[in-house]
Structures are given as C-alpha cells and as structure tokens.
C-alpha cells in the first residue's frame, strides 16, 4: 500500500492573476522616473530638502551610500533587477501611487516593486498589468511601512531617519514586493494602485531563466559573527544534483547592513578535501574579476563553459580582500569547507594553503547548470537540512532524492534544491531579520517563501515539509494550517506545483509532549484531507512505529527521537512517488 496520498489534479486549479477584457488607455504609459512626484532622500546636512512622509522625515543619502544603494545602481533582489533612482538628494525620486500608467516591458513570472509605505501601517492597493496582446490582469500590492514594517522581509534597513529636528536613530525599511503575472505574455505597461501612501521607487518584470536549472542551493539562515576574515580565501564544498555544460554562481548579501566585496572567484571539481581535481576556472561578473554585493542584494556570475558533473562535489573558491566580521550564512552545512591563510588562493590546485575548516556556507546560495528540465525546491527545517545525517557523506533526504531521480528515466532528471534551515518554523521568525545575531534559525517559511522558493532558478515544484518546530514551541494546529494554506496559495498563484509532507512523530524528545503530538496529528489530518496542495508525501506514515504511532520507528531514529538518522532519511526519499514531482 502506497504511503503517498495524491490529490486529484482536478480538485485544485492553481490560482492565477485575474484577467480582464482587452483594454484601451487614454493616457500613454511613461517611464517611472518621469512620474516621480515625491522626494524621499535628503543630504544629512540639509534634511529639509526632502519630505517623504508628509511630516518632513526622509531617508539618509549617507546611509544609502553606505549600504551600496547609490544613484543609478541596478540591484538584484529576490531574482529581480531593480534600479535605484538616478537622482541626487533633494530631487524627486519616487512615485506616490495614484493610478499612474507606467511603461514596463518584459516576460517573466512576477512583477517586482521596490516600495515602502508612509502611513504608519501597511498599505494595500489594486493595480492592472497590460500585455502586448491587448489583454490585462489585475494584482494587489501590499507595501509594509517604512518605520514599522517587518524587518524579516525588508530588502534593506537603514540605521537612521532624517527629520527637520535632526537625525533619528530609527531604522528605515525598503522592500521588494512581487506580484504574479500571466505567464507567457509580454508586459507592456503597469497601472499603479490608487494608494498615495504607497511609494514606488522602481518596478520591473522578474525574468524567468530559460536554459538554466538549479543544481544546488542553500538558504540564508542568519547573520552571525564570522572570522574575522581579512585577505582570506574561502573554499566551499557543495554537492550538485544535476549536471550540465555551463555553470553560474549566486552570492547573496541577505540581511546585511553594508556591502561585501568579493574578489576573484573560481570553480573546480573536488579531488579530496580542499584539493581540486584540475586547475580551478575563473568566474566573472559582467566581465569583471570580482564584485561588490550591496546590502540586501544578490549577484549572479556570468555564464561559464564548465562541465559540471551530476552528483559530484564542487569547490567554489572566493577571495575576500577586505575585513569581514559578520556575514549571511547557512549554518548547518553538514559538510566541511575551508579557509585559507592570507592571500588569494582561488586558483590553487593543492590544499596546502587551506589551513582552517569551516562548517557553514557563507554568502554562496546557488549553483545553476546549463540546460535541464527545471528544479524541485524542498522548503523545510532541520530534517531537510540534514541534522544527524553523516557529515561529508551527502545523506540528507534531498541528496538521496536527487540520486533516485538521476538513476531512473520515468520522469525528467530534475534539479533538487535543499532550502531546509535547522530550527526554522512556518509562522514565526527565529532570526529577527536584521542585525548580527547568534540565532541562525532563519525567518519564517512565510517570510522567506519568495526568496527561497519563488525566486529560485527554474523552480517547477515545491515540497513543504515543516511544522514540527512550530508545534513544539507552542503554536496551535490552526496557526500552522493557516500558514501552510497561505504558502500553498502563493505557490499556486505563481504556477508552481505544490506538495506537502506530513510532520514526523517525535515522542521521547523533551518538547514533544502528548499535547504537542495532538496538534501535530491535527495538522497532518488537514494536510491529508484538505486538498490545499496538489499532492501529499505522507512521511509520518513512512517512519512512525506502527505499534506506537506517536514515536519514530527505532530503526529510523537518530537517537534524539526528533531527527531521523541516515536510514530514516533514506526511507523518506525512497517513499517519494517521483511522478508527483
């Protein structure tokens, strides 16, 4: 009897942007910068030259420059390329949304807004996207407030506000918010909401990435102290799922308050430890050797002709020429990486210069390969992250699933992207989303869903396997269910196939009381029966003791009664019906 419950494909039609009839606009769309009617940025010495919120407060030009957000600079956030206005302090630099028609073009999966609100609370409004074929779709845009909005979802937080009475030590927040588009249609223009408290600095189409498949990924879990590293080379070991004839790398400066400079970067196939099989190959960024990553932004390397083997370990080496004392990291790598002695050792073949071991993945968040059918994204907690799996052995259940896909020809060889974060929850942030912190449990699945799932390269299917940490720390089944329902809906809006996995039993672990188990059982019943997802992976049934269903089967238990060991993780991956993906 199968352990997987498959929801009928006709039971749930993925949500999509609401289409309207063909439209004719009397007003010709204009580039956004020609519509700027508000001034948000002031020189610190002349705060009166801007009035962002109607009360004389404004953003600090000095703080923006310190974050790397300089006039005219194009930044990539959540996969979308957005240009910070090319305006000097005191000049109009944003639009108060009042139904303006904006010229925006391109194909993609989402429309991205660089935005914030100035009403003291979030502001929501409805707008319209017009396509070149004469059709249109509607959208709803919600912008958090620039002074009170959540830090967990901000693109960048600035340390001060300028005011007529002097500078205030209060954080100002800017956000990148995306809304779905009708796939396959070319955008011609966008009509902004009629919500003047909502400010738009930039808008663009987040382009899809044909010709690329995500092969490896790691989710940023926090922003802890590191090193410090000064004139050091980091050589990170990452394991591919699928291979291809080209490669590109992604670096993220998520949660940061300042830019980070990455010097030369190389990629190589691992021989053993920090030693490369062949001479590492240099990676470029828009033709340059290195790159500066602005606070809160990300960068993709140029495509590189490099034969990436499937199911293999790569060495991604990058030199940090300055001093780095804190960095965005994925803490639980379950894989040893390496730090060099002083100098640029990105091109070294032997391991001689790599004298220190690193057990997390800083800055690097993705490896894409050319070609392929797209990727499956696994959104999870420590069980997906590989806690209690054998280190340096690639025995996380996502790794075993990737091996299964490569070994068969019934379905395409999808890339598998592990977006698990140890200690992560569905509805509650562990890491607050800003500042140096010892907590690396990440922001909630709800708050990281766009960055860690929707914006991932060639994502086609998402598996959500979370909730045990929520109920263990006091969340009700209803709260978890509401979060899972929202995640399913947001994925369907973007055209993703959405799967859910049931929560594993954990009796015997200190926090897994009978009351917690009752909440877990309620969540699992909803996952199985509600048909909010396109399919269900019944992982609870896979590992539970049939005689004592609140407890994990001893053969699968790592010993802490919460995390499966290697055998249990293999059982999870082995139970997945690949046709569901």
What's the CA gap between 128 and 22, in Å, rounded?
Answer: 12
| Residues sharing a CB contact under 8 Å with residue 518, sequence separation 6 or more, in sequence order | none
The residues, ordered by sequence, that sit 6+ positions from 575 with a Cβ below 8 Å of its Cβ are 3, 4, 537, 538, 539, 542
239 and 302 co-located in one domain: yes
Whether residues 475 and 505 share a domain: the answer is yes
pLDDT at 232 over 60: yes
Asked if residue 11 belongs to a domain, the reply is: no
pLDDT in tens, 523-571: 999 999 999 999 999 999 999 999 999 999 999 999 999 999 999 999 9
Q: What is the pLDDT of residue 15?
A: 40
- CATH code at 459? 3.40.50.1110
Indicate whether 294 and 342 sit together in one domain. yes
Instruction: Report the number of distinct structural domains present in the chain.
Output: 3
Closest CA to 82 of 436, 455, 377: 455
Encode pLDDT of 470-511 as tens digits. 999 999 999 999 999 999 999 999 999 999 999 999 999 999
558: tokens are 């790592």
Whether 95 is covered by a domain: the verdict is yes
Residue 400 shares a structural domain with residue 519: yes
Instruction: Return phi, psi of residue 234, to 5°.
Output: -100, 130
Going by C-alpha positions, the residue among 534, 533, 554, 535 that lies closest to residue 543 is 554
Residue 11 — pLDDT band, cuts 50, 70, 90?
A: very low
How far is it, in rounded angstroms, from Cα 424 to Cα 442? 6
Final residue before a domain boundary, out of 367, 393, 423: 367
Judged against a pLDDT cut of 90, whether residue 433 lies above it is answered with yes
Q: Is the pLDDT of residue 412 over 80?
A: yes
Cα–Cα distance measured from residue 25 to residue 389, given in angstroms and rounded to the nearest whole number: 59
pLDDT of residue 27: 76
Inform me whether the pLDDT recorded for 266 exceeds 70. Answer: yes
Contact 232, 342 (CB under 8 A): yes
Please tell me whether residues 287 and 337 are part of one structural domain: yes
- Residue 18's pLDDT is 53
Residue 266 lies in a domain: yes
Among 206, 231, 257, identify where a domain stops.
206
Q: Per the domain annotation, does 1 fall within a domain?
A: no
Whether residue 488 is contained in a domain is answered as yes
Domain ends where: 367, 400, 417? 367
pLDDT band, very low/low/confident/very high, at 19 (cuts 50, 70, 90): low
Q: Are residues 267 and 241 in the same domain?
A: yes
In whole angstroms, give the CA distance from residue 256 to residue 284.
Answer: 23
The phi, psi pair for 152, rounded to 5°, reads -65, -25
Range of the domain at 149: 18-206
What's the CA gap between 75 and 159, in Å, rounded? Answer: 20
Distance CA 450, CA 109 (A): 12
Distance of CA 23 to the CA centre of its chain: 35
Q: What is the mean pLDDT of residues 240-258?
A: 98
In this structure, the answer to whether residues 195 and 314 fall within a common structural domain is no
* Per-chain mean pLDDT for the chain: 95
The predicted pLDDT at position 2 comes to 38
Summarize the confidence of residues 293-300 as an average pLDDT. 98
**How do residues 42-95 score in pLDDT, each as one tens digit?**
999 999 999 999 999 999 999 999 999 999 999 999 999 999 999 999 999 999
Separation of alpha carbons 478 and 35, rounded Å: 45
Same domain, 144 and 234: no
Statement to judge: residues 326 and 399 lie in one domain:
no
In this structure, the answer to whether residues 415 and 466 fall within a common structural domain is yes
Look at residue 156 and tell me if it is in a domain: yes
Per-residue pLDDT tens for 454-479? 999 999 999 999 999 999 999 999 99
What residue has token string 């509650």?
A: 428
**Same domain, yes or no: 235 and 293:** yes
The position carrying tokens 């890339």 is 415
For residues 543 and 536, is the Cβ–Cβ distance under 8 A? no
Q: What is the mean pLDDT of residues 416-443?
A: 97
Q: Is residue 573 part of a domain?
A: yes
In a domain, 12, yes or no: no
- Residue 49, Ramachandran bin (φ over 0: left; ψ between -120 and 50: alpha; else beta): alpha
Whether the predicted model's global pTM rises above the 0.75 cut = yes
**Tens-digit pLDDT profile for residues 102-122:** 999 999 999 999 999 999 999
CA dihedral (301, 303, 304, 307) positive or negative? positive
What is the number of residues in the chain?
581
Share of the chain above pLDDT 90, in %: 94
Q: Is the pLDDT of residue 7 over 70?
A: no
Percent helix / strand / coil, the chain, rounded to 5: 15, 40, 45
Mean pLDDT, residues 265-270 taken together? 98
Answer whether 146's CB lies under 8 Å from 125's CB.
no
Residue 405 sits in the same domain as residue 536:
yes
Nearest residue to 363 (alpha-carbon basis) of 240, 241, 221: 221
């Amino acid at each position: 009897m199968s352990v997987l419950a498959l929801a009928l494909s006709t039971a749930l039609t993925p949500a999509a942007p609401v289409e309207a009839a063909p439209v004719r606009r009397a007003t010709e769309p204009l580039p956004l910068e020609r519509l700027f009617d508000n001034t948000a940025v002031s020189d610190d010495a002349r705060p009166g030259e801007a009035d962002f919120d109607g009360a004389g407060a404004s953003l600090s030009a000095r703080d923006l420059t310190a974050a790397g957000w300089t006039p005219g600079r194009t930044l990539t956030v959540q996969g979308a390329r957005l240009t910070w206005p090319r305006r000097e302090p005191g000049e109009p630099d944003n639009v108060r949304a009042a139904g303006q028609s904006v010229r925006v073009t391109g194909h993609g999966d989402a429309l991205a807004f660089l935005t914030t609100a100035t009403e003291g609370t979030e502001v929501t409004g409805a707008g319209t996207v017009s396509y070149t074929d004469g059709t249109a779709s509607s959208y709803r845009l919600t912008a958090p407030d620039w002074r009170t909005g959540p830090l967990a979802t901000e693109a960048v937080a600035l340390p001060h506000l300028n005011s007529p009475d002097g500078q205030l030590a209060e954080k100002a927040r800017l956000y990148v918010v995306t809304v779905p588009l009708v796939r396959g249609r070319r955008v011609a223009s966008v009509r902004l909401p009629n919500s003047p408290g909502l400010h738009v600095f930039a808008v663009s189409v987040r382009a899809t990435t044909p010709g690329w498949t995500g092969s490896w990924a790691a989710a940023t879990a926090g922003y802890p102290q590191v090193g410090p590293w000064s004139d050091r080379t980091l050589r990170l070991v990452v394991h591919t799922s699928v291979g291809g004839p080209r490669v590109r790398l992604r670096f993220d400066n998520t949660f940061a308050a300042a830019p980070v400079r990455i010097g030369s970067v190389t990629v190589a196939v691992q021989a053993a430890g920090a030693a490369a099989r062949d001479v590492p190959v240099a990676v470029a960024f828009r033709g340059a050797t290195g790159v500066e990553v602005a606070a809160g932004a990300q960068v993709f390397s140029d495509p590189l002709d490099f034969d990436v083997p499937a199911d293999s370990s790569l060495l991604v080496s990058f030199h940090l020429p300055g001093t780095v004392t804190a960095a965005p990291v994925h803490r639980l790598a379950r894989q040893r990486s390496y730090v060099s002695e002083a100098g640029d050792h990105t091109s070294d073949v032997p391991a001689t210069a790599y004298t220190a071991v690193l057990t997390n993945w800083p800055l690097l968040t993705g490896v894409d390969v050319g070609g392929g059918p797209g990727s499956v994204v696994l959104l999870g907690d420590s069980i997906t992250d590989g806690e209690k799996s054998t280190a340096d052995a690639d025995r996380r259940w996502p790794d075993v699933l990737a091996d299964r896909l490569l070994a068969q020809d019934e379905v395409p060889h999808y890339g598998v992207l592990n977006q698990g974060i140890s200690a992560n929850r569905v509805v509650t942030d562990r890491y607050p989303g800003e500042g140096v912190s010892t907590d690396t449990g990440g922001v909630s699945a709800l708050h990281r869903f766009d960055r860690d799932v929707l914006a991932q390269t060639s994502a086609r299917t998402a598996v959500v396997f979370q909730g045990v940490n929520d109920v263990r720390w006091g969340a009700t089944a209803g709260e978890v269910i509401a979060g899972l329902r929202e995640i399913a809906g947001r994925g369907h809006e973007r055209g993703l196939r959405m799967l859910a996995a049931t929560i594993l039993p954990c009796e015997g672990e200190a926090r897994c009381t009978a009351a917690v188990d009752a909440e877990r059982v309620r969540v699992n019943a909803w996952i199985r029966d509600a048909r909010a997802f396109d399919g269900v992976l019944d992982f609870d049934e896979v590992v539970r003791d049939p005689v004592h269903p609140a407890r994990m089967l001893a053969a699968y238990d790592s010993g802490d009664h919460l995390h499966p060991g290697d055998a249990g993780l293999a059982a999870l991956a082995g139970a997945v019906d690949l046709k569901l993906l």
